[in-house]
């Protein structure tokens, strides 16, 4: 029996997502102790699009990203104000089930972190863990193949799925972690500098995967690589000192930014 109460719908008219939006932050403010690091962010994550978050070190990108699936709360001093909705539900509502939320809004970290087990078991583990009912053993292998295909890794590993995941290259490990996240059927995947530990070739392969994922999930990616933001994203948000200084279609942000700070940053003047 499902006893969980459904989280409340957000009340404020401006906090309600439209059909083409999957998440919306309104007046999102974060403080660590007495230090305010986000100053009231209004930002939309569009459905089936890739949103890049850029900005100099320490401006609050990771803090914002971690706000989107409540990983923020792992920091004991974190306080927040404002609203974040996912499909009209207030994700900070007291009735929100965190496990459900983090399945719907998955996270891929900077350092690939496969479990010390085989490629197959890494993905199968995630599938079993995320399933509401225990899946039949025969249902697992096809699902492993499906998510490895979506993560763009299948062709490279299909001949030896029992190999240790930790023997894969860094780029392959990162795609395995994307596959593990996909096993939960997320609506949104958050990625915090997912390519910073990878060589250019592996990076290009991950970028291809990100572009393909758009057909059924939305992606929010933090990156320090301007070319990468431009290549993979549909929208870009530029953060500076806790403010969202610029937000819009990526080509527009890079070619005709409205603020001087954005123009300087994308031109490589600071950061
Ligand atoms: N758990 C925490 N406790 C206290 N302060 C924190 C915590 N996490 C982040 N901060 C502070 O919040 C500010 C924003 O940090 P954040 O990690 O969001 O920046 P960022 O834009 O992701 O930077 P980078 O590009 O270096 O990853 C920084 O001043 C940081 O020191
Ligand atoms: Mg960061």
Q: What is the mean pLDDT of the chain?
A: 92
Q: What does each C-alpha distance from 159 to 80, 132, 153, 154, 173 come to in angstroms?
A: 48, 30, 12, 9, 16
Rg over alpha carbons for the chain, rounded to the nearest Å, is 19
What torsion, rounded to 10 degrees, do the Cα atoms 118, 71, 96, 22 define? -90
For ligand 1, whether the C-beta of 58 sits within 6 Å is: yes
Quote the ligand 1 centre to 153 CA distance (angstroms).
32
Cα–Cα distance for residue pair 163/149, rounded to 1 Å: 17
Question: From the DSSP assignment, how many helices (H) and strands (E) are in the chain?
Answer: 10, 10
pTM over 0.85: yes
CA of 150 to the centre of ligand 2 (A): 26
CA distance 233 to 221: 8
Domain ranges of the chain: 13-266
How many CB atoms lie under 10 A from the CB of residue 58?
A: 12
Identify the band that residue 13 occupies on the pLDDT scale cut at 50, 70 and 90: low
pLDDT in tens, 108-134: 999 999 999 999 999 999 999 887 778
Ligand 1 nearest atom to the CA of residue 66, by list position:
18
Residue whose CA is at the smallest distance from ligand 1 atom 6: 32
Fold of 13-266: Rossmann fold (3.40.50)
Residue 63 in contact with ligand 1 by CB distance below 6 A? yes
At residue 269, does pLDDT exceed 70?
no
The Å distance, Cα 169 to ligand 1 centre, comes to: 29
Chain segment 67-83, per-residue pLDDT in tens: 999 999 999 999 999 99
């Amino acid at each position: 029996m499902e006893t969980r109460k459904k989280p409340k719908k957000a009340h404020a008219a401006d906090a309600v997502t439209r059909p083409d939006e999957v998440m919306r932050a309104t007046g999102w403010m974060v403080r660590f102790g007495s230090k305010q690091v986000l100053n009231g962010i209004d930002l939309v994550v569009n459905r089936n699009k890739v949103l890049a978050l850029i900005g100099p070190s320490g401006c609050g990108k990771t803090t914002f990203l971690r706000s989107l699936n409540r990983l923020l709360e792992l920091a004991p001093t974190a306080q927040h104000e404002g609203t974040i909705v996912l499909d009209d539900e207030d994700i900070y509502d007291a009735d929100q089930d965190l496990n459900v939320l983090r399945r719907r809004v998955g996270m891929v970290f900077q350092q690939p972190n496969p479990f010390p087990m085989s490629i197959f078991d890494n993905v199968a583990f995630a599938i079993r863990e995320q399933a509401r009912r225990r899946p039949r053993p025969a249902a697992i292998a096809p699902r492993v193949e499906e998510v490895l295909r979506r993560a763009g890794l299948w062709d490279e590993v299909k001949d030896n799925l029992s190999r240790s995941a930790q023997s894969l290259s860094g780029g392959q490990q990162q795609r395995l972690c994307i596959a593990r996240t996909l096993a939960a059927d997320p609506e949104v995947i958050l990625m915090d500098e997912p390519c910073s530990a990878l060589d250019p070739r592996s990076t290009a392969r991950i970028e291809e995967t990100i572009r393909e994922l758009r057909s059924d999930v939305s992606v929010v990616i933090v990156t320090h690589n301007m070319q990468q933001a431009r290549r993979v994203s549909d929208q870009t948000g530029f953060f500076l000192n806790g403010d969202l200084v610029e937000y819009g279609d990526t080509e527009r942000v890079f070619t005709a930014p409205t603020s001087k700070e954005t123009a300087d940053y994308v031109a490589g003047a600071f950061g």
